[in-house]
Each structure stands twice: as C-alpha cells, then as structure tokens.
Amino acid sequence: MNFYRKEFIFSDFDSGFINWKSCSYVSKWRFDQDKNIQIKRGDVLITQDGTIGKVAFLNEIPTQGTLNSGVFVIRPKNPDKIDTVFLSLIFKSFWFDAFLEQITSGSTIVHLYQKDFVKFNFPLPSKEEQTAIANVLSSMDKEIETLNTKLEKYRNLKTAMMQQLLTGKIRLRYGE
C-alpha cells in the first residue's frame, strides 16, 4: 500500500514552514479523495482551529500531501499579480495579526472561517515590488536562521564547558 504525507496539524508548522519529519501519513485512497486539498509548491497554509493563524509557506514539497479540515490552503486566483512568498509574509505580518484579533475578540472558542478572509484587506504593491520585498525579507530570515544556529551551538558549548569546569574535570590557571 502506498502512503502519502498526511494532513497537517498546527504542531507541524515550524517557523513559517512545515516540519516534514513530524507529519503522519494517509493511504493513497485518502490522498486521492479530493484533488482540491492536495498541496502544491507555493501554497500558503493557515491553521483555522485551536491555535488559529499559524502560517506555513510550502517553498518545497519533499513528498505529496493533503490537508486536514483544520488547515486552509491559500492560492492566488491570479498568480501573475501576487507573489506567493509575499502573500505568505502578509499572513505572518501585523496586518494579519490585527485582523485575527478583530475577528476573534470576545470569542471563547476561536475558529477561522473561510468567509472571514473576504474581510481581510492588506496593501498590495506591484508584483515586482512584492518580489523585491519578499527577497529582502527571505534573506533576512536566512540570516536569522544562521545566527540562531550559531547561538544554539555556543549555548551547547557553554553548557559543556560549565559542566567540565564545575565538576573540576578542567582546571583554569589564573594569575600567571
């Protein structure tokens, strides 16, 4: 039996992308049930239940997959006018956060409905400017990721060094 990436849940969303290692699988039969919820490169995914508004951009798809009922897929009707990376950044921005705050204020059970998206307005510059903005912000994200990796490496090194020093396995000579 062939298995495909399963429907994503909010825990699979990791820093604006999908953590492919944590996804579970469905059968080919389930995958083939609905072509409309099969994921495509360039899709923007948004959680709609529980932890609403988590966003993931599918810049790569290592294997075929499908969505569950707790995740929206956003695809521009006219891709010639909207850069999908820019679109994913809009959904990660204060514009979307403010929109979510507005539609969920006073609610005890938060849920994002498809009809809500009709009310979401945001500035839309030319396609060229969208691409330029997306490129700059993507470069910054890569730099932040590199710095976070270095930071984690130095934290681990510090922890290991503290263990060696505090247990006396390594002695420092000072005052020489």
Residue pLDDT, tens place only, 31-41: 788 887 788 89
Closest CA to 17 of 59, 76, 47, 69: 59
> What is the model's pLDDT at position 173?
80
- DSSP conformation letters of 33-49: T-GGGB--TT-EEEE-B
Mean pLDDT of 160-164: 92
Range 3-124 has CATH code 3.90.220.20? yes
Say what the pLDDT of residue 176 is. 59
| Position 11 confidence tier, pLDDT thresholds 50, 70, 90 | low
In the chain, what are the domain boundaries? 3-124, 125-176
pLDDT band at 1 (very low <50, low <70, confident <90, very high): very low
Name the phi and psi angles at 12, rounded to 5. -80, -15
Banded model confidence at residue 81, pLDDT cuts 50, 70, 90: very high
Number of H helices, E strands in the chain: 4, 7
Give the pTM: 0.75
pLDDT classification of 148: cutoffs 50, 70, 90:
very high
DSSP reduced 3-state for 57: strand
Judged against a pLDDT cut of 50, whether residue 46 lies above it is answered with: yes
